[in-house]
């Protein structure tokens, strides 16, 4: 599928579609470390949390990485045909872009996980942040806390971080765990 035909197909995603750009640090194809199964992991630039012991401080600069259009990213997601993880950096550094990407993943028939330094409680009480993840399957929440590091945890670095099932958390009004 060409970029222009995908642009037509997903024009409902908004006028940013195909024109707007996203600052991408890296895209890993077929990775198994950022969620269950083989996944396409998209590392986005920008993070304001500045956790001590962060695995990737170079990701904090929102001007880092390279600009990619949503259409270019869509082409990679379609080519790989995996569920997608948005990480970084913190995808919620720019909640609107995060929302566009999650909508894109859903439109392509896949599920999205979002890693963020915000807690679910912060997200769910802030309409802008919540809009960024509302369509995601899972939010992996909270800052990395070095003193709580646990290498035995699946898909997260420290024990304060949780795998939050977004749909059931929104339905119940409380953070609900996701069991991959
Ligand atoms: S939220 Fe993630 S990327 Fe941001 S400082 Fe913390 S560990 Fe690093």
pLDDT, tens only, 6-62? 555 555 555 555 556 799 999 999 999 999 999 999 999 999 999 999 989 999 999
Residue 10 alpha carbon to ligand 1 centre in Å: 31
Mind listing the pLDDT tens digit for each residue in 110-142?
A: 999 999 999 999 999 999 999 999 999 999 999
**Nearest atom in ligand 1 to 157's CA:** 7
What percent of the chain lies above the pLDDT cut of 70?
Answer: 89
Q: How many CB atoms lie within 10 A of CB 130?
A: 19
| 90 in contact with ligand 1, CB cutoff 6 A | yes
- Is residue 177 packed enough to be buried (19+ CB in 10 Å), middle (13-18) or exposed (0-12)? exposed
Q: Is the distance from the beta carbon of residue 117 to the nearest atom of ligand 1 less than 6 Å? A: yes
Closest ligand 1 atom to Cα of 117: 1
- Given a cut of 60, whether residue 84 has pLDDT beyond it is yes
89 lines ligand 1 (CB under 6 A): yes
Token duo for residue 118: 């915000």
Q: Is 142 in the pocket of ligand 1 (CB under 6 A)?
A: no
Query: Which atom of ligand 1 is nearest to 88's Cα?
Result: 3
Distance (Å) from CA 116 to ligand 1 centroid = 7
Question: Does the structure show a pLDDT above 70 at 97?
Answer: yes
Closest-CA residue, ligand 1 atom 3, reads 89
- Is any ligand 1 atom within 6 A of the Cβ of residue 49? yes
**116 Cα nearest atom in ligand 1:** 1
Confidence label for 180 from pLDDT (cuts 50, 70 and 90): confident
Q: Give the global pTM.
A: 0.92
Contact residues for 61 (Cβ-Cβ < 8 A; gap 6+)? 45, 46
Mutation choice for ligand 1 from 34, 44, 49, CB with most ligand atoms inside 8 A: 49
Would you tell me the crossing angle of helices 95-107 and 70-80 to the nearest 10 degrees? 40
| Torsion sign (Cα): 34, 26, 102, 175 | positive
**pLDDT of 20:** 65
Q: Are 160 and 140 in contact (CB under 8 A)?
A: no
**Domains of the chain, earliest start first:** 3-172 (3.20.20.70)
| Stretch 134-159: mean pLDDT | 97
Name the pLDDT band for 93 (thresholds 50, 70, 90). Answer: very high
Task: Report the pLDDT averaged over residues 136-151.
Answer: 97
């Amino acid at each position: 599928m060409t970029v222009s035909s995908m642009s037509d197909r997903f024009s409902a995603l908004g006028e940013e579609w195909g024109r707007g750009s996203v600052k991408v640090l890296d895209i890993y194809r077929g990775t198994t470390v950022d969620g269950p199964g083989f996944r396409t992991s998209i590392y986005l630039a920008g993070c304001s949390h500045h956790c001590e012991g962060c695995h990737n401080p170079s990701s904090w600069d929102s001007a880092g990485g390279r600009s990619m259009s949503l259409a270019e990213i869509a082409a990679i997601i379609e080519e790989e045909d995996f569920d997608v993880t948005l990480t970084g950096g913190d995808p919620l550094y720019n909640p609107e872009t995060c929302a566009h990407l999650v909508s894109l993943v859903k439109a392509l028939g896949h599920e999205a996980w979002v890693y963020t330094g915000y807690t679910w409680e912060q997200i769910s009480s802030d309409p802008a942040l919540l809009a960024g993840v509302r369509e995601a399957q899972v939010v992996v929440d909270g800052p990395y806390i070095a003193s709580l590091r646990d290498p035995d945890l699946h898909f997260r670095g420290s024990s304060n971080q949780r795998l939050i099932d977004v749909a059931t958390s929104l339905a119940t009004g409380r953070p609900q765990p996701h069991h991959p």
